[in-house]
Amino acid sequence: MRDDGANSGPELLLTLRRGAGAPALGIQVEDGLREAIRAGRLRSGDRLPPSRTLAHDLAVARRTVVGAYEQLVAEGWLEARTGSGTFVRRALPGLAVPASAAVVPAAPEAPAGPGRLRYHFFPGHPDLSAFPRAEWGRAVRAALRDLPDSAFGYGDPRGHRELRVALAGHLARTRGVVCRPRQIVICQGAVQALALLVRSHAERGAPRVVVEDPYLPEHRDVLAHAGADVVPVPVDGLGIRDESLVAARPDIALVTPAHQCPTGVVLAAGRRAAICRWAQESTALVVEDDYDAEYRYDRAPVAAVQSLAPDQVAYLGSTSKTLAPGIRLAWLVVPEDRLERVVAAKRYADAGSPVLEQAALARLITSGAYDRHVRAARRRQRERRDALVAAVGEHLPDARIEGAAAGLHAVVRLARPVGARELVAAAREREVGVHPLSEYRADPSPETTGVVLGYGALAVPAVREGVRRLAAALSEVG
Amino acid sequence: MRDDGANSGPELLLTLRRGAGAPALGIQVEDGLREAIRAGRLRSGDRLPPSRTLAHDLAVARRTVVGAYEQLVAEGWLEARTGSGTFVRRALPGLAVPASAAVVPAAPEAPAGPGRLRYHFFPGHPDLSAFPRAEWGRAVRAALRDLPDSAFGYGDPRGHRELRVALAGHLARTRGVVCRPRQIVICQGAVQALALLVRSHAERGAPRVVVEDPYLPEHRDVLAHAGADVVPVPVDGLGIRDESLVAARPDIALVTPAHQCPTGVVLAAGRRAAICRWAQESTALVVEDDYDAEYRYDRAPVAAVQSLAPDQVAYLGSTSKTLAPGIRLAWLVVPEDRLERVVAAKRYADAGSPVLEQAALARLITSGAYDRHVRAARRRQRERRDALVAAVGEHLPDARIEGAAAGLHAVVRLARPVGARELVAAAREREVGVHPLSEYRADPSPETTGVVLGYGALAVPAVREGVRRLAAALSEVG
């Protein structure tokens, strides 16, 4: 399949930089194409190479090229013609006329990653169609009606007080988190929380930050960009290895005890205790990323590690898995002795988060609507989880499913390693998006022993059909 | 007046750290008081010193102490008794019981700075009571109705495309800004925009950033915290001295050409051209902070400097002066050759801003409601500006008013220098809040030659009465 478009478009001279400091590949592809058009190397009416061909030539994921094409179509540089491909637009927007920027039609949003494949087992999303639009709208209206004028001024950089009070109660009740509202810093998503933690430490030198291996590559990039020296420590069947963690002598240890990201392992009680003990004896900070704790299906949730050592553990949660990532609301519970520095980092990062989202979420929590929404989402996701487990049992009888007791994703351990790129390609052929476990390793290998399957955004029939197609893909590459 | 409370409260041992890296004084006061209560040094029922006394003892602004008291009242540590002062609360919240944090009653928001004095000429705010709550609510509802599900996922770190398209047209039309939507990065207020610009440069070493002297101290702190080496360059009657700017050899020059902050001087045409020429010949970036450009009263606005040199000038605007700071929406137009790095900085800072605010603002702009709101605000602010000029002419005939052609503040140049602290204190006695020009200097002197008067949040009668009282205060200290 890789050759099908090799002769069907112009040769494109795009040079991509890789490694630390290089911009995202998608942006480089976009910029390169735009520059090629601007410089006349690509002319109106020229046909672009099929995305698969260009992706192959550039050694990038096909979705990277598809995304770049979509962006340029939205900006008016390219046009997609059904059935015949992507072309440089015939009537190009004026290249130097400012007003023309405004008349580029507002294209529909470029579909986000998960939308491009019919069965995309994307682990980062809840079901975006379940975002409670009506309740959120009511909460915003109530906030607009009730907030005093002063709430629209520059506020406390920690965030809107009503939300911090509501969260302190909610987190105590649901996760055993021990805190006062003053210790809560509202952040723009977990990404900002991680960046603030690193930066608040940076005046004492670049902090060594332990992450679990495997981990989310995006988090490693955020930590490194904020100035951390990132040290991966292996995860086994009981969670992160506490002895290796201690031996790494980190300033900060970022862990996901409730449902390790991405393996789904629950951190064993003995290791929780050992890590807390170590933190109490050192000056290190443990950061507990409780990213999907709301989704636990089979037994009572274990309380947050923060409850064992509130002076040593910062607790991080968000609405990205319960409501939607686009709301960009996260909360960081900070031990008292770190609080000033983290608040200063937030003040100098953006002077505080927008008030209306915060006031809306506070209302949803205090009215009980947030709990009701989470319960309904948990019921829905449990059905999907059950469908996933059943479909894996049916179509992949040799595989083992792990980490399915909680969260919005599970890991399918394969009977034998397969080539990761080959698997992704074979799955894509069948409109299935999968993420090999090897993508999450500090030292990625070309073969993978498992697949991370996010089911949060797929309805039950799609989960079943997706697993069936995945099994077919595996049989091809296995 | 300074002695009136010296014997009326306990001695408090609070040690404040000052200088680079120290937390805000208000936070230090809060923490010190809380610690004193926790450690039993202050007991239930103890009377706190009057804020004036404690402020004097600690050599901080009285509003710093008032703010700390209010925060602790809100948290339940202190209580205010009308007519008799502030006391440690009799029924203290449990100090170690997590759930108690939630039962601290949600106190009304601590009043923001400008609210505490009846005539506070605060230069940082528009009229918060004029925030268009109904229109904003309608725009949010429309966004909730129309946005595709994918908009609630992780989006483009530059921000919601509809808003970037709307802004490109709006900025071209109203400010002559030359840009494409792709060059616009939506930020959490100007603070984040400045931090991103510095950080996007930091991988090539700490950037030298020229700021205008006088300047906003908050901006200097943000720049320095992001890693900049901040170099103040003097402003005279024609704006920042271009020769000094060039001689400082900065990597980044942060300027306010339309209405210098805080003097109100308009940057002279010759200097604009000289700065653009220099930027074209060097590798430096000019950052144009167009913070109050929407308010121009007497003549057609000068186009943004960005329009002269779009490849050398980054343009910064926000809704903080047109709508409200609490919305936290700003936009940064970035020259193409810096774009990748700034977008990466935004991605690693918070992965993008919340979608609903952005979609709401996009709707307000495209429907024309934003322009209507700005026009109405400009009419209202012009009346206040006129009242300020008239009142200064009447009550301070020896003073000269400057920078009143635009913006939400002007500078009153005094007939002779006065002690800055004495002036602030004498004005406060009369319920007037003023900000001496000396506070904005890189090298603050104890005497000030001018006063910055923000009238954006004061109605016409309050402007008049405030200036009358300010004149009385001046006659006392002058």
Select the residue of A112, A173, A345 nearest B150 (Cβ to Cβ): A112
Contact A344, A197 (CB under 8 A): no
Check B188 against A23: CB less than 8 A apart.
no
Report the alpha-carbon distance of residue A248 to residue A241 in Å, rounded.
11
Q: Which residue of B has its CA nearest to A179?
A: B98
Q: Check residue B92 and report its DSSP letter.
A: P
Element (H, E) at A313: strand A313-318
Give the orientation angle of helix A369-395 with respect to helix A355-367, to 10 degrees. 80
Q: Which residues in chain B touch residue A344, judged by CB atoms under 8 angstroms apart?
A: 23-24, 225
Q: Which residue of B has its CA nearest to A128?
A: B149
- How many beta carbons lie within 10 A of that of residue B237, not counting itself? 9
pLDDT on residue B16: 78
Cβ of A21 under 8 Å from any chain B Cβ? yes
Check A24 against B131: CB less than 8 A apart.
no
Determine which of A73, A95, A188 to mutate to test the interface with B (most B C-beta atoms within 10 Å).
Answer: A188
Least confident of A65-74, A463-472, B257-266: A65-74
Please state the φ and ψ torsions of residue B230, each to the nearest 5 degrees.
-90, 125
Check B149 against A133: CB less than 8 A apart.
no
User: Using one digit for the tens of pLDDT, what is the confidence trace for B179-236?
Assistant: 999 999 999 999 999 999 999 997 778 999 999 999 999 999 999 999 999 999 999 9
| Strands B313-318, B330-333: pairing kind | antiparallel
| Across A104-128, average pLDDT | 64
Residue A65 has pLDDT above 70, yes or no: yes
pLDDT band at A107 (very low <50, low <70, confident <90, very high): very low
Report the alpha-carbon distance of residue A11 to residue A42 in Å, rounded.
10
pLDDT band at A49 (very low <50, low <70, confident <90, very high): confident
Contact B159, B184 (CB under 8 A): yes
Q: What does each C-alpha distance from B296 to B131, B190, B269, B329 come to in angstroms?
A: 19, 20, 17, 21
- How many beta carbons lie within 10 A of that of residue A24, not counting itself? 16
Report the alpha-carbon distance of residue B448 to residue B467 in Å, rounded.
17
Report the alpha-carbon distance of residue B203 to residue A469 in Å, rounded.
45
Check B181 against A124: CB less than 8 A apart.
no
User: Using one digit for the tens of pLDDT, what is the confidence trace for B90-106?
Assistant: 765 433 322 223 233 33
Collapsing DSSP to helix, strand or coil, A108 comes out as: coil
CB pairs under 8 A between A and B: 284
Q: How many CA atoms lie within 13 A of A372 on its CB side?
A: 8
Check B326 against A154: CB less than 8 A apart.
yes
Report the alpha-carbon distance of residue B4 to residue B35 in Å, rounded.
26
Least confident of A58-62, A70-74, B63-67: A70-74
User: Chain B closest CA to A353's CA: distance in Å?
Assistant: 7
Quote the ipTM score.
0.78
Distance of CA A216 to the CA centre of its chain: 8
pLDDT on residue B13: 62
pLDDT band at B430 (very low <50, low <70, confident <90, very high): very high
Cβ of B129 under 8 Å from any chain A Cβ? yes
The type of residue at B461 is: P
Report the alpha-carbon distance of residue B370 to residue B372 in Å, rounded.
5
Cβ of B35 under 8 Å from any chain A Cβ? no
Collapsing DSSP to helix, strand or coil, B229 comes out as: strand
Check B191 against A351: CB less than 8 A apart.
yes
| Strands A435-436, A400-402: pairing kind | unpaired
Cβ of A38 under 8 Å from any chain B Cβ? no
Residue B185, phi-psi category: left (phi > 0), alpha (psi -120 to 50), beta (remainder):
beta
Report the alpha-carbon distance of residue B181 to residue B176 in Å, rounded.
14
Select the residue of B153, B326, B328 nearest A125 (Cβ to Cβ): B153
pLDDT on residue A76: 72
Cβ of A101 under 8 Å from any chain B Cβ? yes
- How many beta carbons lie within 10 A of that of residue A88, not counting itself? 20
Q: Which of residues 257-316 of B touch A (CB under 8 A)?
A: 307
Q: Which residue of A has its CA nearest to B71?
A: A182
Contact A357, A336 (CB under 8 A): no
Check A114 against B27: CB less than 8 A apart.
no
Report the alpha-carbon distance of residue B407 to residue B438 in Å, rounded.
20
Collapsing DSSP to helix, strand or coil, B85 comes out as: strand
Please state the φ and ψ torsions of residue B293, each to the nearest 5 degrees.
-65, -20
| Across A130-141, average pLDDT | 97
Q: Which residues in chain B touch residue A349, judged by CB atoms under 8 angstroms apart?
A: 188, 191-192, 195, 349-350
Select the residue of B129, B144, B221 nearest A348 (Cβ to Cβ): B221
User: Using one digit for the tens of pLDDT, what is the confidence trace for A164-191?
Assistant: 999 999 999 999 999 999 999 999 999 9
Cβ of A207 under 8 Å from any chain B Cβ? no
The residue among A390, A378, A477, A377 whose CA lies nearest residue A434 is: A477
User: Using one digit for the tens of pLDDT, what is the confidence trace for B433-468?
Assistant: 999 999 999 998 999 999 999 999 999 999 999 999
CB-neighbour burial class of residue A474 (10 A; exposed 0-12, middle 13-18, buried 19+):
buried
Residue given tokens 């004005």 in the structure block: B427
What is the pTM (predicted TM-score) of this model? 0.78
Check A152 against B326: CB less than 8 A apart.
yes
Residue B45, phi-psi category: left (phi > 0), alpha (psi -120 to 50), beta (remainder):
left
Check A150 against B115: CB less than 8 A apart.
yes
| Strands B184-187, B85-88: pairing kind | unpaired
Report the alpha-carbon distance of residue B211 to residue B229 in Å, rounded.
10
Select the residue of A177, A222, A351 nearest B348 (Cβ to Cβ): A222
The residue among A463, A478, A474 whose CA lies nearest residue A391 is: A463
